[in-house]
Amino acid sequence: MVTDRIANATGKRVATSVAAALMTLALAGCASDKLTTGSISRGSGTPATAMSSQQVGSQVERLGRSYAKNPKDMNTAMGYASVLQMDGRSDQALAVMRKLAIDYPQERQVLAAYGKALASAGELEPALDAVRRAQTPEYPDWKLLSAEAAILDQLGKPDDARQIYRRALDMKPGEPSILSNLGMSHLLSGDLKTSESYLTQAANAPGADSRVRQNLALVVGLQGRFQEAEQIASRELSPEQAQANVTYLRQMLSQQNAWNQLKDEEKKKTN
């Protein structure tokens, strides 16, 4: 078993690399399915979170053509920004959402998605402002609370973030995305055991998707349980998607040579 000291130190070294994964999951559900996932999946027949890179590229082209014809169409613009984000084109996604936020300055779904785009581009303070403006105090949205907390985590305010995560859980008990965010919050602090506890709850909760399992696989791998981590990363996916997840897992754990360091520790345990 990898020691807590090594595992926690390794967790802290990869924390900056997993911050983007935390934000992706935290804000993934801020806009309604009708405006994002639904708009994306109608043309492909595949849920957005299960798309291959080729399918994402196809959707970028399809929605890009529609957006060029009518950039003020809210559904199209939000769907286009979402697939651009999935394709790693954060700057372009932000440009689309910035224009849409100008066109719809009071629309909370637009503000929430704009906050996601800002955060993904590293503009955390403006992102926090956008997400808070999207919130309605008299009718608070748990998704926006979770998004706000994720941004606070990235701003180095974990105590504030976890208080807000718990408020979101009070509103939506057992919600896998909130539990996963709490787990990733503890990972960012290097507390791998607590992180795994929350992520295991998240992965076992109804409605958990592959992103939650991918985060759990990362935390399990950081503790040296590689076979278990790869099994989690490849669960309930096509062979192509499973291989992509395992490749991603290895890339994450290779930060600062973390994968090889932990692998050596596991070999010492078995020899």
Check which CATH number belongs to the domain holding 62 and give it: 1.25.40.10
Mean pLDDT along residues 112-127: 90
pTM confidence score: 0.74
* Residue 165 placed within a domain: no
- Give the residue numbers spanning the domain of 50: 31-134
> Average per-residue pLDDT in the chain?
79
Tokens 């602090």 belong to residue:
189
The answer to whether residue 142 scores a pLDDT higher than 70 is yes
Residues 48 and 9 occupy one common structural domain: no
Whether 161 is in a domain gets the answer: no
* Shared domain check, 262 and 229: yes
Nearest of 255, 205, 100 to residue 181 by alpha carbon: 205
- pLDDT tens for 68-101 read 999 999 999 999 999 998 888 989 999 999 999 9
Determine the Cα–Cα distance for residues 235 and 59; give it in Å rounded to an integer: 25
Question: Which residue pairs, CB below 8 angstroms and at least 24 apart, start in 39-47?
Answer: 39/63, 39/75, 39/76, 39/78, 39/79, 39/82, 40/79, 40/82, 40/83
